[in-house]
Amino acid sequence: MNNQKLQFFRELVLKERENTIRIISDIDETWTKNMQDASGNLSNYTIHLADIGTDTQEREKETYILERELKHLRLLDETLKRIDSNNFGTCIYCGEKISEERLKAVPYAVSCIECQKKYEKRNNHNNHYYNHKSYNKKVKFR
């Protein structure tokens, strides 16, 4: 991939990284605000049972989103490393080039469409990007 295309994808990833950081910051601000609001009370616990359930559910949802966004941020950072080391755009399974159309849609993709389909079929899920531990190694299907 030429330098102009690599720069295009770098900017795409940086923009997505910026949005991800914004989401993480928003959650952090919400938690900080909630803690400040709670510190005005006699305790950090809500008094009404219905409020306790609502507060707990909201915290669990925010925790899930935060964990997902932190994983996404790490994935974007790995993508930037691959761009810097000229490993960007190569499928970790078959070693073939990942199509530019796919990379435009999913710039952090580590596999070509065909290998991704095989992976999802074999593992019965689509959480490949967040679970794969080796972004720079070729991995073979058995």
Q: Render pLDDT for 109-131 as a digit per residue (tens, 0 to 9).
A: 999 999 999 998 888 765 555 45
- Are 13 and 75 in a shared domain? yes
Range of the domain at 128: 89-142
Cβ-proximal residues to 90 (8 Å cutoff; 6+ apart), any chain: 96, 97, 98
- Are 37 and 96 in a shared domain? no
- Are 3 and 63 in a shared domain? yes
- Are 43 and 100 in a shared domain? no
pTM over 0.85: no
Model pLDDT, residue 63? 87
Could you give the number of structural domains in the chain?
Answer: 2
- Are 101 and 80 in a shared domain? no
